[in-house]
Amino acid sequence: MNDQSSIVGRPLDRVDGPLKTCGVARYAAEFFPSNLAYAVIVQSTVPAGKVRLDVSAARAMPGVVFILTHDNAPELPQKGRGAVNPPAGRTLSLMQDDDVHYNGEPIAVVVADTFEIASEAASRIRVDYATAPASLSFEQAKSSAYKPEKLTRDQPDKSWGDVDAGLGAAAVRVDHVYTTSMEHHNPMEPHATVAHWEGDRLTVYDATQYVSGVRETLSKTLGVPVEKIRVVDPFVGGGFGCKGSAWSHVALAALVARAAQRPVKLVMARWQMFGPVGGRPRTEQRVLLAAQRDGKLTALRHDVISHTSVMEDYAEASTAPTRALYACESGAVTQRLVKLNVGVPTFQRAPGESTGTFAVESAMDELAYELGMDPVALRLRNYAEAEPSTGKPFTSKRLRECYALAARKFGWARRNPKPGSMRDGRQLIGWGMATATYPAHRQPASASARLLRDGTVLVQSGTHDLGTGTYTIMTQIAADALGMPFERVRFELGDTMMPKAPVSGGSTTASSVGPAVQEACRALREKIVNAAIADGGSPLYRAAATDVDLRDGTLVARNGRRETLGALASRQSAPIEAKGDAKPDEAQKTASRSFGALFVEVRVDPATGVLRVPRVVAAYTVGRLMNAKTARSQLQGGIVWGLSQALFEKSLLDERYGRFVNGNLAEYHVPVNADIQAIDVDFVDENDTAFNPLGARGIGEIGITGVAGAVANAVFHATGKRIRDLPITLDKLIA
């Protein structure tokens, strides 16, 4: 297959598009087993203490089926707080005792014939609290900051080279503190679970990024063998990390369904998305950059404090980009945690990189001004050919070309670097830039492929489509590997009955599942050829396997004989099928990372502080694109979220009660169409086959990275005000 004929890469429309636009695609909450009952979670309204519940009035309501509290909760195999420790590492709230750890923690579940009855009954539960002192102030908790055991993929602390010598050799230093806010994911589809027991077998329809992870969590939590549990989720309405692990409500739905002896549906309300299902932690980041006069970095430090829950450690790896972004002979990074009485924070789109790039890209801009140097030139002066903290060379990196391409399209050469120098009437114009980056990883994955009697091929893997395009790109990969037209291949996902796939998080689905699909389809193609040449009824009977090709759905022998797959399949007594497994090379001596260059224009009204972003121009080096259309859409969506992080998003914690005062989409601000103007996304061609046989690195998360830094840098250029605290709201501009 040469590249002209390749289906991979083409900007094809989503295969699931019509299903979604017609409302046929079924999301987790849209499964209705017969005799379905409805569950509503009751949450704590205090941040710490003990709880006592009186459910008598609720239980007396007609239509109420069952109420779960710590008084009647079944004793779970690993009982007690912290003992339930599923693979994703979540400490669940399953009413094994009367302790309250945060405001919003589940303390009861009501099951009723209808959602309305369950909601009303939930409001009739009387709750008394013996409150205990709670840790709710990040500032106060900082004095007891501690080092976590681990980051997601690294040690919390790392140093390389001689930092003291590097500082000594520097002519210029910048040393500032940058802060980012708590955020909550809020995909359009909230968390939802339908739990259905048939005897000792459990089927769960769950809004998740990880069907097999949910299965394992439920297995360990409930003490039910994995083979007895099936988890299904064909469509996910956005995930962004909050659906990467199974939270309490999933196990609670299974528990109450078992107790009620009825299938149960539990859907989180929008306001319940603020607390019990993760969020991005608050960070405080000190960045020190030291450089020679010519801009060469000689030392860097990045010290991060982020919050976690009293229940469990989750560390936001904001130092991750600093370890990998710029060539610097010496560096030291540290990560510390403070414990608060809030729900456990978790991965949120580009965890670590999103918050970390804000700090380090702001600091680079500050350094550029100190040096009187162009910010692009400063980045090129410190361009890293290998990962600075490990010395590992990158498998492929074309960031230089990204800076050049995006700068040219933006018109960066026309920038007057002096802050406040560019105006349009009374509006101040600011141009800023930043680097985007996110690592590439792979995990083991499996897929199957089967020739059906109608001559089409069904490919399956227990992976997920979060709205990203998985259905479409896997169909493209399969069609290419088989030699079949795109329309004659169907790809299915989202079911633990299918071959196992990893969590769809960390931008790893294309890079992990893609090669497994490719393997399965290559193996099937070989079996198809062998079946034809062994089949007396085929025109290809007794041809040499090496002489037979499968092209566009037809088997063609070198001597010109041919047979369509449909004809071959119609004579099959049993389906021809194959499995494919793929896994990364464990002993990798290289680093794989994606990069991008972002250029942003802001316009600020100096009197009101109103800030607009009329245009963003970005270019990325992300490996080979599987589908040019869905890829662009991923990057644009990521940039929109970056603008949201830069300008709007903040979960406001009331430090008296531990409640989020803006826990709804009316007051938790996200951009609307009027906030988003031109976003120009481009790519520098790449084919990173040293990372993965498809040459793809994954694109789900890099889009959000660097954006907030670029906006902050543009704001400084416009106004001369350096805003080191996200979001950049107008009060900070007129202060």
Please, what is the angle between helix 353-371 and helix 707-719, to 10°? 30
Q: Verify binding: residue 241, ligand MOS, rule CB under 6 A.
A: yes
Shorter beta-carbon distance to ligand MOS: residue 348 or 512: 348
Binding mask 176-215 for ligand MOS (x = CB under 6 A): ---------------------------------x------
Shortest distance, CB of residue 699 to ligand MOS, whole angstroms? Answer: 12
As a whole number of angstroms, the distance between CA 631 and CA 39 comes to 38
Q: Between residue 504 and residue 543, which ones bind ligand MOS under the rule CB under 6 A?
A: 505-506
Q: Which amino acid is at 465?
A: D
What's the closest the beta carbon of residue 240 comes to ligand MOS, in angstroms?
6
Q: Does 650 bind ligand MOS (CB under 6 A)?
A: no
Site stretch for ligand MOS (CB under 6 A), options 344-352, 395-403, 479-487, 647-655: 344-352
CB within 8 A of 60, min separation 6: which ones? none
Q: Which residues pair with 678 in a beta bridge?
A: 615
**For ligand MOS, the closer CB: 328 or 643:** 643
Give residues 243-302 in contact with ligand MOS (rule: CB under 6 A).
244
698 touches ligand MOS by CB under 6 A: no
Closer CB to ligand MOS, 503 or 532, in the complex: 503
Q: Is 701 a catalytic residue?
A: yes
Which helix (H) or strand (E) segment holds residue 217: the answer is helix 211-222
Q: Write the single-letter amino acid at 460.
A: Q
Q: Alpha-carbon distance 71 to 51, whole Å? A: 11
Distance, CA of 353 to CA of 282 (rounded, Å): 14
Among 86, 279, 351, 709, binds ligand MOS (CB under 6 A): 351
For residues 715 and 733, the answer to whether their CB atoms sit within 8 Å is yes
Cis amide bond preceding 87, omega within 30: no
Compute the least distance from the CB of residue 345 to ligand MOS, in Å.
11
DSSP letter for 673, please: G
Contact (CB, 8 A) for 365 and 335: no
Give every CB contact of residue 282 below 8 A, 6+ residues apart in sequence.
Answer: 138, 179, 180, 181, 182, 306, 307
Minimum CB distance to ligand MOS smaller for 104 or for 439 = 439
Asked whether position 239 contacts ligand MOS by CB under 6 A, the answer is yes
Minimum CB distance to ligand MOS, residue 273 (Å): 15
421-440 residues near ligand MOS, rule: CB under 6 A: none
302 close to 284: Cβ distance less than 8 angstroms: no
Looking at 252-260, 287-295, 345-353, 564-572, which segment touches ligand MOS (CB under 6 A)?
Answer: 345-353
Nearer to ligand MOS, 33 or 505 (CB): 505
Select from 222-230, 240-248, 662-670, 686-694 the region that touches ligand MOS (CB under 6 A).
Answer: 240-248
Residue with CB nearest ligand MOS?
A: 241
Evaluate the CA torsion angle 340, 342, 343, 345 in order and state its sign: negative
CB neighbourhood size of 116 (10 A): 12
- Residue of 366, 601, 649, 701 marked active site: 701
Rule CB under 6 A: say whether 648 interacts with ligand MOS: no
Of the candidate spans 74-82, 301-309, 348-356, 654-662, the one that interacts with ligand MOS by CB under 6 A turns out to be 348-356
Which position among 274, 347, 403, 438 is part of the footprint of ligand MOS (CB under 6 A)?
A: 347
The DSSP output letter for 320 is T
Q: What end-to-end distance do the CA atoms of the chain give, in Å?
A: 62
Q: In angstroms, rounded to a whole number, what is the distance separating the alpha carbons of residues 108 and 73?
A: 9
Provide the residue type at 509 as one letter: T
Q: How many residues does the chain have?
A: 735
Phi-psi region of 276 (alpha: psi -120 to 50; beta: other; left: phi over 0): alpha
DSSP string, 368-380: HHHHT--HHHHHH
Choice between 43 and 634, CB closer to ligand MOS: 634
Among 265, 282, 349, 379, which residue interacts with ligand MOS (rule: CB under 6 A)? 349
Q: Which is nearer to ligand MOS, 240 or 412 (CB)?
A: 240
Phi-psi region of 623 (alpha: psi -120 to 50; beta: other; left: phi over 0): left
Q: Which residues pair with 555 in a beta bridge?
A: 550, 563
Kind and range of the H or E run holding 19: helix 17-21
Looking at the Cβ atoms of 439 and 623, the one nearer to ligand MOS is 439
- CB nearer to ligand MOS: give 240 or 326: 240
The two three-digit tokens of residue 396, written as one number: 């492929």
Residue whose pair of structure tokens reads 């859409």 in the numeric block = 633
Q: From 33-41, 234-242, 254-262, 554-562, give the range in contact with ligand MOS by CB under 6 A.
A: 234-242
Nearest-approach distance from CB 527 to ligand MOS, in angstroms: 35
Q: Which is nearer to ligand MOS, 553 or 638 (CB)?
A: 638
Alpha-helical regions (H) of 534-616: 565-570
**Residue 703 contacts ligand MOS per CB under 6 A:** no
Shortest distance, CB of residue 622 to ligand MOS, whole angstroms? 16
Site size with ligand MOS, rule: CB under 6 A: 11
Tell the smallest beta-carbon distance from residue 506 to ligand MOS (Å): 4
Under rule CB under 6 A, residue 240 binds ligand MOS:
yes
Q: Which residues bind ligand MOS (CB under 6 A)?
A: 209, 239-241, 244, 347-349, 351, 505-506
Residues noted as catalytic: 701
